[in-house]
Amino acid sequence: MEAPDPFALIASGQRVQLELAPDQRARFVVDFIRRGLSTIWCHLGPERELPDLTVTPRVFTLEAGDPGGLLKVPVTVASVDRAERSDGKVLTVRLTVLSGTIWVQRRKYFRLRNPQLGVTLRPARAASDATAELSARPLNLGGGGVALAVNSGEIHPGDEVEIQLALVNTLPFPARGTVLRVEPGAGGESVLAVQFTDIRESHRDRLVSLIFREQTRRRLAE
């Protein structure tokens, strides 16, 4: 499905969130938008601690949800203004909308080829056996599962596997999955298609954010 126009979905008074880091988001309220200027004005506050936003070329992710899914919009910060009010400090931010918006439908996820992700896995039947742990090379990643290349022929379709996933510069987190397919890969490797069956939603959100950030970076590099 093609991503909706962010200027058609996002409206004044709507609550949105700005992803500042993989595990850090700030909630804003939209003040007004200007489609012709590709600009969204929003504010946060009053808060005791305001995020440290500066006007840089860095690309952030603006997230706006509705019952159908989540809109993820690449933006840059055009201006930042801090104002004192009787009830505290208010942060007003002007965002410039870039191309590359994606729409994450419920239970449907985009996939990223060759993600920067560390992965180890072991068959669930050998969960207590440290020697059964296998290093795996991720070939593509989605919020619903991952394709992995492993140097083992001991895993078969239908097997349950326990996985450790590690994003760059973060501690690994666990997931559990079912092997849907096993296909021959290059150099004697086996390629496993694994569907996540047990993963915390906060961890899934981190994977979806990684996919979006890397897709945006690759688009801008083209």
pLDDT value at residue 59:
87
Q: pLDDT, tens digit, for every residue of 164-186? A: 999 877 788 999 999 988 888 77
Name the CATH superfamily, with its identifier, for domain 111-221: predicted glycosyltransferase like domains (2.40.10.220)
pLDDT value at residue 53:
73
* End-to-end Cα distance, the chain: 23
- Pick 67 or 73 by higher pLDDT: 73
- Answer yes or no: same fold for 6-105 and 111-221: no
Q: pLDDT, tens digit, for every residue of 54-63? A: 656 788 899 8
- Calculate the average pLDDT of the chain: 82
Q: pLDDT, tens digit, for every residue of 86-143? A: 767 788 899 999 988 888 765 456 678 888 889 999 888 776 665 678 889 999 998 8
Reduced to 3 states, what is the DSSP secondary structure of residue 204? helix
pLDDT greater than 70 at residue 70: yes
Q: 86-122: b or e for each residue (b if 16 or more CB lie within 10 Å)? A: eeeebbbbbbebbebbbbbeeeebbbbeebebbbbbb
pLDDT value at residue 170:
79
Contact call for residues 53 and 69 (beta carbons, < 8 A): no
CATH architecture of 6-105: Roll (2.30)
Q: Please give the average per-residue pLDDT across 44-70, as a whole number.
A: 72
Contact call for residues 139 and 162 (beta carbons, < 8 A): no
Q: Domain segments of the chain: what residues?
A: 6-105, 111-221
What Rg do the C-alpha atoms of the chain give, in angstroms? 20
The answer to whether the pTM exceeds 0.85 is no
pLDDT value at residue 131:
62
Q: pLDDT, tens digit, for every residue of 14-27? A: 888 888 776 678 88
